[in-house]
Amino acid sequence: MHAFEVVARRHGPLMRVYAGRLLGTDLESDDVVQDAFLTAWRRLSDLEDPSRLRPWLMRIVSNKSIDRLRVRRDHDDIDAHDAPASRAAGPERVVESRLQLDAMWTALDKLPLDQRRCWLLRETGGWSYAEIAEALQLPVSTVRGQIARARKFLLHEMEAWR
C-alpha cells in the first residue's frame, strides 16, 4: 500500500498534465488519473517489468483519456444551444461541421494506437516531439514517423471534406 502511495505521488502530476493536454481541459484530468490509478491497482499483476512502470501508467492514462474523448463527442453541451445561431452558422453549416467531425473521429479510430496517440498529443495537445517521445517511451524519430504516417492517412481519409 505504501509503495503504491509513493508511485501515485511520483507519477500522478505527470499523468494529470498528460491527461489535461489530451482532453484539452484540467477539469476531467483528475477523474481520468484517478480512474487510471484504480485500473493500475487492479491490474498490477499485468506489469511484467517494474522498470516500465511509468510508460505502463502513461498508456493507461492515454487509453482512459481517449475513452473520455469518445464519450464526449457523442453529447452536445446544452449551454452551446442557448444563443441563436448567426446566418453564417446556419443549420446546414452545423450539420456539415458535425458530419466532418464524425468523419474525423472515424478516421482517427482507424489509425493504429501509437499513431493515434502521437497525433492526438501533437495536434490537439500541442506537445513537442520530444515531450511525446518521453511520455510514450519512444525514440523521437519514431514519434516523427508515427505522426507523418497518421497525417498522410488522415489527409487521404478526409480528402472528400477538403
pLDDT tens digits, residue range 111-143? 998 999 899 888 888 889 998 998 889 999 999
Place 69 in a pLDDT band, splitting at 50, 70 and 90. confident
27: how many CB neighbours lie within 10 A of its CB?
Answer: 9
Place 149 in a pLDDT band, splitting at 50, 70 and 90. very high
- Report the C-alpha gap between 46 and 41 in whole angstroms: 10
- Residues composing the chain: 162
Mean pLDDT of the 32-42 span: 89
